């Protein structure tokens, strides 16, 4: 059973507009969440993370929001740029539980058109 779900396989956005990528999780023990960006035939690169003690974390154009009661997080990219076109993976883990690796969602392919 999937513990981390990204229900939208793809998202298309125009350059300059906001991109919102969503992620849901089922394991209430998860307390640390990350977003990765991946280009084809390359390894994922870390974008931004958030701990469950926060509900928002911002880094430049990227902001992650966490709604613990809904077990939902989202990544906002503002403004979107063509170079943002990639697959975005949400990941989660239990930060203080030994032996727990990152659990990834299936990813959302973002396409930003100019």
Partner 1 sequence: DGGITQSPKYLFRKEGQNVTLSCEQNLNHDAMYWYRQDPGQGLRLIYYSQIVNDFQKGDIAEGYSVSREKKESFPLTVTSAQKNPTAFYLCASSIVMNTEAFFGQGTRLTVV
Binding site for partner 1 (CB under 8 A): 6, 9, 32, 34, 36, 41-46, 49, 89, 93-107
**Burial, 41: exposed, middle or buried (Cβ in 10 Å; 0-12, 13-18, 19+)?**
exposed
Distance in Å, CB of 96 to partner 1, minimum: 7
Distance in Å, CB of 67 to partner 1, minimum: 21
CA angle 52–67–104, rounded 5-degree value: 70
Distance in Å, CB of 13 to partner 1, minimum: 21
Give the nearer residue to partner 1 in terms of CB position, either 32 or 65. Answer: 32
Distance in Å, CB of 73 to partner 1, minimum: 16
Give the nearer residue to partner 1 in terms of CB position, either 75 or 105. Answer: 105
Give the nearer residue to partner 1 in terms of CB position, either 89 or 112. Answer: 89
């Amino acid at each position: 059973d999937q513990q981390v779900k990204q229900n939208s396989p793809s998202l298309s956005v125009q350059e300059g507009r906001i991109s919102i990528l969503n992620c849901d999780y089922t394991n209430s023990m998860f307390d640390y969440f990350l977003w990765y960006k991946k280009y084809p035939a390359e390894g994922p690169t870390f974008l931004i993370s958030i701990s469950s003690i926060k509900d928002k974390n911002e880094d430049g154009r990227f902001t992650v929001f966490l709604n613990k009661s809904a077990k939902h997080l989202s990544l906002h990219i503002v403004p979107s740029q063509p170079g943002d076109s990639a697959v975005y993976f949400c990941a989660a883990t239990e930060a203080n539980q030994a032996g727990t690796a990152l659990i990834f969602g299936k990813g959302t392919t973002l396409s930003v058109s100019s």
